[in-house]
């Protein structure tokens, strides 16, 4: 038995890996120019933002809640950082202000949900509007630019490449991995580490599956739920930082609809809206899958308005597959179990 | 009481009221170290309320809880845990996505700084599991364990908190025979370790097997506490019901009529070539071991599960496969084993549950006529003697027996003529049991037909006119009431294929 413990078994991998590989292979063979260094570089950078968001979303979903305010929160945090930069503040202070802003907003969500017992869907739906309005008001609905200076040199550095390999002369033949991707990887490793190595993961599963049980086990469920929302708020602000560096400016509408994409990615990754199941890797692969679909649609010259149809379809099909997997598992257990 | 010094825990004159009900009235019980103290009573007798006071989920209105001679002030779940009181509930409290070790130490993980000390946690889990003789690797995910194993893990969890008192609430209701043996072995081990245990169960024979003392409760009051050695099964039953139960299986012979329901050569995933029938005015029992395919046959016949081949006839008319809606419209009622999940909408009231399948018939215009519903439901509530202050009471607050009656009412209102009961009295206390049997007897007397699947042999023998015995997915034999005895049924149930 001991030997079996860490053995990698195909059936133990999250289903989302297979979905991702399948979609990726399909796109590579089916869509010309998809499998080019340049496109893959862009894809990775774009997906990074969603990967961060969907990780936060997965945490909340596993605990039995949902955080619809992530998109709005992203816009708000981005605007806060951008305004700080415009006023000539040092970049570290600006980032600190943004992350603090995101975490505080998450704290509010957490208090609404776990202390005031407002259903998560409603509470975060409401705060989504609030955050979005803050973003609009603070920015006066204009894109915010700032002057480059010594105090924000870090931004240029982060916007640069950590790795650059030229396969040819054209832009599409250049593989470039941005520092942002590295940053994303670091953040994700931190979150996964926190999830696996501290009590956080166990408590999130326990709370998501049955909050009463968790409470009877002596877990302070209120505190932990608040913490989960804070974490998702903080992750939204990190995503905001990425958006801001990538575009070198900040639009107050950057976060529009991202919360839905995060839900789609998390659900594609096997996270249930009912809580208590799912995993973080799933959410990451869900996000990657989503961007592979988007990227190939764009490359194939399909209109952006159609993209949402496809993404919607991907979500529904993903849900159906998930349901089938759960049913299959249940059947297996019925057969091997008693009765 | 003479050796109160030795008692681990004492309830002293505990009373507790809820709006409108006196749940506990002046109850005094003590628990000694190293004993199994069984508590029996009908659902609603106050057993659970008493245990909830112990766990700190409720506060007593009056009276005192004494732990090793010192009074316990203002109890709450966290505190009772620290005092060494652990509960093992009927519905398991497990987190299925986590490992065994994680479940055992959930809420009090060994930590190194902010990190879980996983090695330490798994080592200690292995030790605990070893001490109760359970052979499960600590890193296994909970969802991959059987229910019995999950229960053992719950016990390990209690031990990990150094519990001195463990409460078992219906621990065996979902275990198989061998698993129960295993549980009992662990309980005797715990006795030797001087753990005091409360044991709540409806299965009285178990109490004689492992109990040291038994307390009988009825209507929130303690009736008696006595040594198991000094009491008989009859005495306990009498105490629980508050009256003598002369004959729990009331069967009045009645005339058999036409065949109402017939299964011909039905084959499916886990059963082969099953044929059986039931007539008007007849109760047909299906006996057999768990896993012999009893429920599967009936589920397939009712169209809930798929079948490979075979036919089903209702009053001579061929019924379509895979269409439970059609069958219920043809007058077949299926009362599943799991009432809470499959038979009732727990969040709805008695009235809503009763009419839910007959809304079309009661309200032909498509507009709900509340008054008409009330009249109909009240009639059945009266006929079935459903004890409730109002028909608007939510079904989740009813006892198991009463819930079963509501399910029966639901089907009566749809004017069903054939009733298929799957384990009709599982988890129902003995008083309600006999009233369910009475109801079944009345149904057939009025010309209905009943198929009853049951694991309780006395019930099958007591109620059935005919018994089909299944073994390994086939009908091993058909016995008439006069030929059906414990022995003949068991012999058939254990018979091998082709014998």
**Is A240 a residue whose pLDDT tops 90?**
yes
- Give the pairing of strands B317-318 and B259-267: unpaired
A206 with B98: Cβ contact below 8 A:
yes
Residues in A closer than 8 angstroms to B139, CB to CB, are 5
- For position A195, what pLDDT does the model report? 92
**Closest chain B residue to A276 measured between Cα atoms?**
B97
Residue A202 Cα, gap to closest chain B Cα (Å): 7
Residue B138 Cα, gap to closest chain A Cα (Å): 10
**Closest chain A residue to B160 measured between Cα atoms?**
A217
Nearest to B93 among A5, A210, A339 (CB): A210
3-class DSSP assignment, residue B404: helix
Q: What is the phi/psi pair of residue A83, to 5°?
A: -65, -40
Average pLDDT estimate for B265-287: 90
Q: Whole-number mean pLDDT of chain B?
A: 84
- For position B456, what pLDDT does the model report? 78
Residues 6+ away with beta carbon under 8 Å from A328: none
**Closest chain B residue to A198 measured between Cα atoms?**
B115
**Closest chain B residue to A337 measured between Cα atoms?**
B146
Fold assignment, B4-241: Rossmann fold (3.40.50)
A338 with B147: Cβ contact below 8 A:
yes
Burial of A252 (0-12, 13-18, 19+ CB in 10 A): buried
- For position A104, what pLDDT does the model report? 96
Q: pLDDT confidence of B120, banded at 50, 70, 90? A: very high
Q: Which domains does chain A have, with CATH numbers?
A: 44-290 (1.10.3470)
**Is A111 a residue whose pLDDT tops 90?**
yes
Residues in B closer than 8 angstroms to A2, CB to CB, are 137
Q: pLDDT confidence of A96, banded at 50, 70, 90? A: very high
Q: pLDDT confidence of A95, banded at 50, 70, 90? A: very high
**Is A247 a residue whose pLDDT tops 70?**
yes
CA atoms within 13 A of residue B278's CA, in its CB half-sphere:
29
Residues in B closer than 8 angstroms to A203, CB to CB, are 106
**Is B214 a residue whose pLDDT tops 90?**
yes
Nearest to B97 among A198, A205, A216 (CB): A205
Average pLDDT estimate for B313-333: 86
Beta strands in chain A (DSSP E): 161-166, 174-178
A198 with B114: Cβ contact below 8 A:
yes
**Closest chain B residue to A199 measured between Cα atoms?**
B116
- For position B263, what pLDDT does the model report? 92
Lowest mean pLDDT among A61-70, A292-301, B483-492: B483-492
B78 with A218: Cβ contact below 8 A:
yes
Residue A141 Cα, gap to closest chain B Cα (Å): 43
3-class DSSP assignment, residue B265: strand
- For position B244, what pLDDT does the model report? 56
- For position B419, what pLDDT does the model report? 92
How many angstroms separate the CA atoms of B33 and B382, rounded? Answer: 47
A contact set with B (CB within 8 A) = 1-2, 5, 197-199, 202-203, 205-206, 209-210, 212-219, 276-277, 337-339
Q: Counting one residue from A and one from B, how many pairs have CB atoms under 8 Å apart? A: 69
Residues in B closer than 8 angstroms to A337, CB to CB, are 146-147
**Is A257 a residue whose pLDDT tops 80?**
yes
B106 with A198: Cβ contact below 8 A:
no
Nearest to B107 among A209, A210, A217 (CB): A217
A339 with B147: Cβ contact below 8 A:
no
Average pLDDT estimate for A228-254: 94
Average pLDDT estimate for B174-184: 79
The interface predicted TM-score (ipTM) is 0.78
**Is B340 a residue whose pLDDT tops 90?**
no
**Closest chain B residue to A208 measured between Cα atoms?**
B95
Question: What percent of chain B is modeled with pLDDT above 90?
Answer: 18
**CATH 3.40.50.300, applies to B259-493:** yes
B115 with A197: Cβ contact below 8 A:
yes
Residues in B closer than 8 angstroms to A219, CB to CB, are 106-107
Average pLDDT estimate for A5-15: 55
How many angstroms separate the CA atoms of B359 and A335, rounded? Answer: 37
B95 with A209: Cβ contact below 8 A:
yes
Q: Give the best-scoring range by mean pLDDT among A160-164, B26-30, B111-115, B241-245.
A: B26-30
How many angstroms separate the CA atoms of B145 and B251, rounded? Answer: 42
Average pLDDT estimate for B343-370: 80
B contact set with A (CB within 8 A) = 55, 77-78, 81, 87, 93-98, 102, 106-109, 111, 114-116, 118, 137, 139, 146-147, 176, 290-291, 295
- For position B20, what pLDDT does the model report? 62
**Closest chain A residue to B91 measured between Cα atoms?**
A213
Average pLDDT estimate for B112-132: 89
Q: Which residue ranges make up each domain of chain B?
A: 4-241, 259-493
Residues in A closer than 8 angstroms to B76, CB to CB, are none
A199 with B87: Cβ contact below 8 A:
no
Higher pLDDT, A130 or B411: A130
Strand partners, B199: B38, B168
- For position A124, what pLDDT does the model report? 95
A205 with B95: Cβ contact below 8 A:
yes
Mutation choice for B interface testing from A61, A199, A271, A280 by most B CBs within 10 A: A199
A202 with B102: Cβ contact below 8 A:
yes
- For position A3, what pLDDT does the model report? 38
Residues in A closer than 8 angstroms to B94, CB to CB, are 213
Tally of CB atoms within 10 A around A90 = 15
The strands making up B36-40's β-sheet, listed across from edge to edge, are B85-88, B165-169, B196-200, B36-40, B213-218, B221-227
pLDDT in tens, B154-164: 888 888 888 89
pLDDT in tens, B280-316: 999 999 988 777 788 889 888 888 887 888 889 999 8
**Closest chain A residue to B157 measured between Cα atoms?**
A217
Residue B78 Cα, gap to closest chain A Cα (Å): 6
**Closest chain B residue to A6 measured between Cα atoms?**
B139
How many angstroms separate the CA atoms of A128 and B192, rounded? Answer: 59
Residue B274 Cα, gap to closest chain A Cα (Å): 18
Tally of CB atoms within 10 A around A198 = 16
A22: left (phi over 0), alpha (psi -120 to 50) or beta: alpha
Task: Provide DSSP, B157-175.
Answer: HHHHTT-SEEEEESTTTT-
Higher pLDDT, A293 or B179: A293
Q: What is the phi/psi pair of residue A150, to 5°?
A: -60, -30
A198 with B107: Cβ contact below 8 A:
no
Average pLDDT estimate for A33-49: 90
**Is A339 a residue whose pLDDT tops 70?**
no
**Is B185 a residue whose pLDDT tops 50?**
yes
Q: pLDDT confidence of B274, banded at 50, 70, 90? A: very high
Mutation choice for B interface testing from A9, A198, A203, A213 by most B CBs within 10 A: A213
**Is B494 a residue whose pLDDT tops 90?**
no
pLDDT in tens, A179-210: 999 999 999 999 999 998 899 999 999 999 88
A338 with B146: Cβ contact below 8 A:
yes
B107 with A214: Cβ contact below 8 A:
yes
Which is nearest to A259 in space by CA: A63, A50, A70? Answer: A70
Q: Give the best-scoring range by mean pLDDT among A8-12, A62-66, A332-336, B302-306.
A: A62-66
**Closest chain A residue to B114 measured between Cα atoms?**
A198
3-class DSSP assignment, residue A208: helix
Distances (CA, A) of B376 to B16, B355, B414, B456: 36, 9, 11, 34
How many angstroms separate the CA atoms of A327 and A323, rounded? Answer: 6
Mutation choice for A interface testing from B77, B93, B144 by most A CBs within 10 A: B93
């Amino acid at each position: 038995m001991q030997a079996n413990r860490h053995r990698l078994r195909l059936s133990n991998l999250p289903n989302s890996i297979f979905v991702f590989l399948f979609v990726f292979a399909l796109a590579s063979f089916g869509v010309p120019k998809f499998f080019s260094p340049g496109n893959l570089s862009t894809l990775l950078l774009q997906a990074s933002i969603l990967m961060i968001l969907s990780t936060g979303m997965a945490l909340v979903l596993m605990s039995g809640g949902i955080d619809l305010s992530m998109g709005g929160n992203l816009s708000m945090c981005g605007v806060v950082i951008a305004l700080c930069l415009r006023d000539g503040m040092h970049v570290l202070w600006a980032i600190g202000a943004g992350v603090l802003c995101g975490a505080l907003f998450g704290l509010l969500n957490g208090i609404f949900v776990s202390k005031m017992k407002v259903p998560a869907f409603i509470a975060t739906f409401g705060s989504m509007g609030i955050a979005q309005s803050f973003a609009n008001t603070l920015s006066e609905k204009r894109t915010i630019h700032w002057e480059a200076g010594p105090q924000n040199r870090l931004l240029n550095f982060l916007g640069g490449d950590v790795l650059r390999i030229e396969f040819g002369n054209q832009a599409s033949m250049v593989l470039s991995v941005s520092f942002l991707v590295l940053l994303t990887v670091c953040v994700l490793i931190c979150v996964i580490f926190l999830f696996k190595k501290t009590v956080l993961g166990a408590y999130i599963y326990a709370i998501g599956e049955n909050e009463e049980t968790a409470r009877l086990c002596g877990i302070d469920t209120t505190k932990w739920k608040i913490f989960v929302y804070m974490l998702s708020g903080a992750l939204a602000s990190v995503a905001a930082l990425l958006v801001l560096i990538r575009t070198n400016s900040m639009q107050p509408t950057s976060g529009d609809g991202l919360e839905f994409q995060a839900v789609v990615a998390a659900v594609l990754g096997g996270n249930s809206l009912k809580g208590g199941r799912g995993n973080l890797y799933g959410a990451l692969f869900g996000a990657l899958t989503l961007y592979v679909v988007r990227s190939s649609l764009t490359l194939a010259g399909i209109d952006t308005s159609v993209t949402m149809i496809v993404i919607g379809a991907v979500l529904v099909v993903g849900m159906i597959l998930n349901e089938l997997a759960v049913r299959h598992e249940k059947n297996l257990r019925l057969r091997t179990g008693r009765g | 009481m003479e050796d109160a010094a030795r008692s681990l825990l004492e309830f002293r004159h505990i009373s507790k009221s809820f709006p409108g009900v006196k749940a506990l009235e002046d109850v005094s019980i003590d628990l000694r170290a190293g004993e199994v103290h069984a508590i029996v009573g009908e659902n609603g007798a106050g057993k659970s309320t008493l245990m909830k006071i112990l766990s700190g989920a409720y506060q007593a209105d009056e009276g005192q809880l004494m732990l090793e001679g010192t009074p316990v002030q203002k109890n709450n779940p966290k505190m009772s845990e620290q005092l060494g009181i652990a509960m093992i509930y009927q519905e398991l409290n497990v987190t299925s996505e986590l490992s065994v070790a994680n479940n055992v130490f959930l809420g009090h993980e060994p930590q190194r700084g902010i990190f879980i000390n996983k090695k330490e946690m798994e080592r200690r889990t292995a030790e605990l599991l070893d001490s109760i003789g359970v052979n499960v690797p600590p890193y296994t995910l909970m969802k991959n364990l059987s229910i019995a194993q999950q229960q053992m893990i719950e016990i390990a969890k209690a031990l990990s908190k150094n519990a001195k008192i463990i409460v078992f609430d219906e621990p065996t209701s979902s275990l198989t025979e061998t698993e129960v043996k295993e549980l009992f072995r662990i309980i005797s081990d715990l006795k030797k370790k001087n753990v005091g245990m409360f044991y709540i169960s409806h299965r009285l024979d178990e109490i004689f097997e492992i109990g040291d003392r038994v307390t009988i409760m009825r209507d929130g009051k303690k009736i008696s506490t006595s040594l198991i050695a000094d009491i008989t099964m009859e005495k306990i039953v009498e105490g629980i019901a508050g009256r003598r139960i002369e004959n729990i299986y009331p069967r009045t012979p009645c005339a058999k009529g036409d065949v109402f329901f017939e299964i011909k050569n039905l084959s499916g995933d886990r059963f082969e070539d099953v044929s059986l029938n039931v007539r008007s005015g007849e109760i047909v029992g299906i006996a057999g071991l768990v896993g012999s395919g009893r429920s599967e046959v009936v589920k397939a016949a009712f169209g809930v599960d798929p079948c490979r081949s075979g036919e089903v006839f209702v009053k001579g008319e061929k019924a379509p496969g895979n269409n439970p809606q059609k069958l219920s419209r043809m007058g077949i009622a299926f009362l599943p084993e799991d009432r809470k999940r499959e038979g009732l909408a727990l969040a709805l009231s008695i009235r809503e549950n009763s009419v839910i399948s007959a809304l079309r018939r009661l309200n032909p215009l498509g507009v709900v006529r509340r008054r008409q519903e009330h009249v109909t439901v009240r009639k059945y509530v009266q006929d079935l003697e459903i004890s409730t202050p109002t028909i608007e009471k939510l079904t989740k607050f009813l006892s198991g027996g009463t819930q079963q009656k509501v399910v029966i009412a639901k089907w009566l209102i749809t004017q069903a003529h054939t009733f298929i009961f799957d384990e009709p009295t599982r988890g129902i206390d003995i008083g309600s049991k006999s009233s369910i049997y009475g109801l079944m007897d009345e149904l057939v007397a009025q010309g209905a037909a009943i198929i009853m699947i049951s694991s309780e042999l006395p019930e099958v023998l007591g109620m059935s006119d005919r018994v089909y015995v299944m073994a390994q997915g086939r009908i091993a034999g058909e016995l008439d009431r006069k030929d059906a005895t414990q022995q003949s049924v068991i012999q058939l149930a254990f018979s091998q294929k082709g014998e």
